[in-house]
């Protein structure tokens, strides 16, 4: 399978980019012709950012699983679609061909129908990184159910909030999951999340760890039993396939929850047509994927990276995707390199945090690993610092593999700004140029376009996008106004990314980090308000303020300033109690790295916490804190500075 839309030179990139800006409808219409549609669209694009309303391939009918699986069967049925590497390196690997993937997805689609799932129903998926997770995601898409995957590290309370928001009636989970040296009791976490839940009708449980679980009659069913029964039904009907439900291009495909600047997570909605076109287009072009390449994206499918670049993008391109159950440092820090060697990986796409973490183990874990198959390296989650970029380039790519530094978000569906591997120039720690169809602009606080370079010849401002691309967020589930205020109301007629950026004279972009109250911890976005709410749930906490600070591995660490009811003689125990509370309410991923007990917080006379001051203190800046005279009690700042942890 060749890709007619693959860009193969810098000149072609410039030409294609210009066309995508000048004639977006004819540009994207041509690309969409490379997919299987039941019915062609009536109009390529209709949009305004005021409401906001964005419709791509309007009137088009399709099913994304026919594009990810069925259309490849005749020519690539025996080609590996997914290669699964288990957590334990001694356990048997599984290679799932396109033919087998088709069979399993059809089977699971039948399981969903047997359990009462209909088009438009929300199915929450809370599983470890096993191939069955991909079957569940694609099985939902096949019958038009909306999947909402929740990362296996979230707590029962976080799951309960998401179930409530999505009004999900169905859950797919595992008895437990393996993650490094840990066993995570997924089913019992789901049971806790379901206390008081009135909407969930069925829980389908896949056996992975053989952890004892409670199975409630009438509600809980075993995956294996359901799959056997579904197979017998399919065989009895003498059909090889399970027909895919026809979907409108703008029907929702999935909801994925992301942290907002308020405490409540928001459900980002992506739709069938535009998301399919965007993930496939960006996958093929950014990574310069060639038929037969082995692509290893190390993300979890619980995050958008796993949705777009383990499942949908690679499969729609007829690619081979490696799916890894474990963590990069278990049983030792050579695990990624073992996998590259074992499967002769050509494209490695991983988080900046993982690279920094692996750097800290030195070069010993690389010894004896053949990584000569690598052609392209990629980074995701946050901007990569120059030191990590050079380490990755020198020791992993042997200076022969282009590094694509990809910038994008849950809301964008796929990569927005990145160099194309070996085609457009790379610049260490810069995301570089926008993808065709993406029109970035830097604006100041008032929304005016920044045109005056600073003393280094760089433009600096808040990063916005002028026009829609096919993978753009359509709404936040059940609350369109929240979508409007979060992304489209800050600056008129612009999508606001929430990030700041620099732009050089060649048009390259460098992302400088969040400008709103969202932290980027290990590549995962977590709202400061969400962490503060969790800390404030602790019985002895009166008030808290959370800011980010530079962290050598995670990129950003979490620094919490906490006021308690009484001065704690046992500060260590109190800190542990607070960490346990955050773990229970959100999950371990959100635990503060530093907690400082304080007698007060710097507040304006109107009661607003001056997080700008706290951020500077957390970053180690104690002199230039700006004007503190307007604070209610300026002496608080000196006290916080003196007791910094």
pLDDT tens digits, one per residue of 106-153: 999 999 999 999 999 999 999 999 999 999 999 999 999 999 999 888
The residue assigned the tokens 């003196």 is 642
As a whole number of angstroms, the distance between CA 588 and CA 476 comes to: 25
The residue assigned the tokens 């599984």 is 94
As a whole number of angstroms, the distance between CA 325 and CA 555 comes to: 24
DSSP secondary-structure letter at 7?
-
- pLDDT reported for residue 239: 61
267 — pLDDT class (breaks 50, 70, 90) = very high
3-state SS, residue 405: strand
For the chain, the average pLDDT equals 92
Cis omega before residue 331 (within 30°)?
yes
- pLDDT reported for residue 262: 54
Identify whether the C-beta of residue 245 lies closer than 8 Å to the C-beta of residue 62.
Answer: no
477 vs 613, more confident: 477
- pLDDT reported for residue 187: 97
- pLDDT reported for residue 633: 79
- pLDDT reported for residue 608: 63
pLDDT of 461 higher than 70: yes
pLDDT of 538 higher than 70: yes
The residue assigned the tokens 């400061």 is 528
pLDDT of 1 higher than 70: no
- pLDDT reported for residue 47: 97
Q: Supply angle C-alpha 291, 297, 303, rounded to 5.
A: 130
User: Would you mind telling me the total number of residues written for the chain in this entry?
Assistant: 645
In a domain, 561, yes or no: yes
Phi-psi map region of 621: left, alpha, beta (phi>0 left; psi -120 to 50 alpha):
beta
In a domain, 572, yes or no: yes
- pLDDT reported for residue 60: 98
393 — pLDDT class (breaks 50, 70, 90) = very high
As a whole number of angstroms, the distance between CA 326 and CA 87 comes to: 4
Lowest mean pLDDT of 78-82, 493-497, 533-537, name the range. 533-537
Residue 640: both structure tokens together: 């916080």
In a domain, 534, yes or no: yes
Q: Supply angle C-alpha 22, 23, 26, rounded to 5.
A: 165
- pLDDT reported for residue 371: 96
Cis omega before residue 52 (within 30°)?
yes
385 — pLDDT class (breaks 50, 70, 90) = confident
Identify whether the C-beta of residue 201 lies closer than 8 Å to the C-beta of residue 219.
Answer: yes
DSSP secondary-structure letter at 244?
P
Structural domain count, the chain: 1
- pLDDT reported for residue 572: 82
CATH number of the domain enclosing 563: 3.30.300.30
Give the domain extent around 619.
518-642
Share of the chain above pLDDT 90, in %: 74
- pLDDT reported for residue 353: 83
Phi, psi of 281 (to 5 degrees): -60, -45
- pLDDT reported for residue 65: 98
3-state SS, residue 261: coil
184 — pLDDT class (breaks 50, 70, 90) = very high
387 — pLDDT class (breaks 50, 70, 90) = confident
Q: Which residues of 282-295 are buried (b: 16+ CB within 10 A; e: fewer)?
A: bbbbbbbbeeebbb
Instruction: Summarize pLDDT for 284-330 with one digit per residue, the tens.
Output: 999 999 999 999 999 999 999 999 999 999 999 999 999 999 999 99
In a domain, 90, yes or no: no
567 — pLDDT class (breaks 50, 70, 90) = low
Q: Report CA Rg, the chain.
A: 24
Instruction: Summarize pLDDT for 426-436 with one digit per residue, the tens.
Output: 999 899 999 99
- pLDDT reported for residue 383: 80
Residue 260: both structure tokens together: 């907002």
Pick from 632, 540, 553: nearest CA to 595? 540
Residue 624: both structure tokens together: 């230039």
Share of the chain above pLDDT 70, in %: 96
Phi, psi of 141 (to 5 degrees): -60, -30
Identify whether the C-beta of residue 332 lies closer than 8 Å to the C-beta of residue 347.
Answer: no
- pLDDT reported for residue 634: 80
Pick from 145, 310, 136, 143: nearest CA to 241? 143
In a domain, 491, yes or no: no
Identify whether the C-beta of residue 35 lies closer than 8 Å to the C-beta of residue 315.
Answer: no
In a domain, 310, yes or no: no
Q: Where are the beta strands (DSSP E) in 244-293?
A: 247-248, 252-258, 266-271
- pLDDT reported for residue 293: 98
Pick from 319, 296, 280, 278: nearest CA to 1? 319
Phi-psi map region of 296: left, alpha, beta (phi>0 left; psi -120 to 50 alpha):
beta
Query: At 20, which helix (H) or strand (E)?
Result: helix 10-22
In a domain, 559, yes or no: yes
In a domain, 608, yes or no: yes
pLDDT of 561 higher than 60: yes
Residue 380: both structure tokens together: 């995701």
Identify whether the C-beta of residue 43 lies closer than 8 Å to the C-beta of residue 60.
Answer: no
- pLDDT reported for residue 628: 66
Query: At 28, which helix (H) or strand (E)?
Result: helix 24-32
* Neighbouring residues of 428: CB distance < 8 A, sequence distance ≥ 6: 384, 386, 389, 390, 393
Residue 534: both structure tokens together: 């969790």
* Neighbouring residues of 473: CB distance < 8 A, sequence distance ≥ 6: 268, 269, 270, 411, 412, 413, 483, 487
């Amino acid at each position: 399978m060749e890709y007619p839309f693959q860009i193969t030179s810098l000149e072609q990139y410039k030409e294609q980019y210009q066309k995508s800006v000048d004639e977006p409808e004819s540009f994207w219409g041509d690309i969409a012709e490379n997919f299987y549609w039941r019915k062609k669209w009536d109009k390529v694009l209709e949009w305004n950012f005021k409401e906001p309303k964005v419709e791509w391939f309007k009137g088009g009918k399709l099913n994304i699983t026919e594009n990810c699986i069925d259309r490849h069967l005749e020519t690539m049925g025996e080609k590996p679609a997914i290669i699964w590497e288990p957590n334990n390196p001694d356990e048997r690997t599984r290679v799932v061909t396109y033919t087998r993937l088709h069979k399993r997805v059809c089977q699971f689609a039948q399981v969903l129908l047997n359990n009462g799932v209909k088009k438009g129903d929300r199915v929450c998926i809370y599983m470890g990184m096993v191939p069955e997770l991909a079957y569940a995601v694609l099985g939902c898409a096949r019958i038009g159910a909306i999947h909402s995957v929740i990362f296996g590290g979230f707590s029962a309370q976080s799951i309960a909030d998401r179930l409530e928001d999505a009004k999900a009636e169905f859950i797919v989970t595992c008895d437990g999951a393996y993650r490094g040296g840990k066993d995570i009791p997924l089913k019992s976490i789901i049971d806790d999340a379901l206390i008081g839940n009135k909407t969930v009708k069925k829980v389908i449980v896949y056996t992975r760890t053989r952890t004892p679980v409670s199975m409630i009659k009438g509600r809980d069913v075993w995956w294996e039993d359901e799959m056997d029964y579904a197979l017998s039904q399919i065989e009895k009907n003498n059909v090889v396939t399970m027909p895919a439900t026809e979907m409108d291009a703008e029907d929702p495909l999935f909801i994925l929850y992301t942290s907002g600047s308020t405490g409540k997570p928001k459900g980002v909605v992506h739709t069938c047509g535009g998301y399919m076109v965007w993930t496939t287009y960006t996958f093929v072009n950014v990574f310069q994927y060639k038929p037969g390449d082995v692509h290893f994206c190390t993300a979890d499918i619980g995050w958008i990276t796993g949705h777009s670049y383990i499942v949908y993008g690679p499969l729609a391109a007829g690619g081979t995707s490696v799916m890894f159950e474990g963590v990069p440092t278990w049983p030792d820090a050579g695990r990624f390199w073992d996998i590259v060697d074992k499967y002769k990986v050509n494209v490695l796409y991983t988080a900046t945090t993982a690279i920094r973490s692996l750097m800290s183990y030195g070069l010993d874990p690389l010894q004896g690993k053949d990584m000569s198959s690598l052609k392209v390296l990629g980074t995701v989650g946050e901007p990569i610092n120059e030191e990590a970029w050079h380490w990755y380039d020198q020791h992993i790519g042997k200076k022969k593999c282009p590094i694509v530094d990809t910038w994008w978000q849950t809301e964008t569906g796929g990569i927005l700004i990145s160099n194309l591997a070996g085609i457009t120039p790379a610049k260490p720690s810069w995301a570089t140029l926008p993808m065709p169809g993406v029109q970035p602009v830097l604006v100041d606080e008032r929304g005016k376009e920044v045109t005056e370079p600073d003393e280094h010849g760089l433009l600096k401002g808040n990063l916005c996008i002028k026009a829609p691309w096919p993978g753009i967020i359509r709404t936040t589930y059940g609350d369109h106004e929240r979508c409007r205020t979060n992304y489209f109301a800050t600056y008129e007629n612009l999508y606001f990314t929430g990030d700041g950026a620099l732009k050089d004279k060649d048009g390259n972009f460098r992302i400088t980090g969040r400008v709103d109250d969202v932290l980027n911890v290990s590549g995962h976005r977590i709202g400061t308000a969400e962490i503060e709410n969790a800390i404030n749930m602790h019985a002895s906490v009166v008030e808290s303020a959370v800011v980010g600070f530079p962290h050598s591995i995670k990129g950003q660490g979490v620094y919490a300033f906490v006021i308690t009811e009484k001065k704690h003689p046992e500060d260590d125990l109190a800190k542990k109690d607070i960490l346990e509370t955050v773990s229970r309410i959100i999950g371990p991923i959100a635990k503060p790295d530093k907690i400082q007990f304080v007698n007060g917080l710097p507040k304006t006379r109107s009661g607003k916490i001056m997080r700008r001051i706290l951020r500077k203190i957390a970053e180690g800046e104690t002199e230039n804190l700006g004007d503190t005279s307007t604070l209610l009690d300026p002496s608080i700042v000196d006290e916080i500075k003196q007791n910094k942890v």
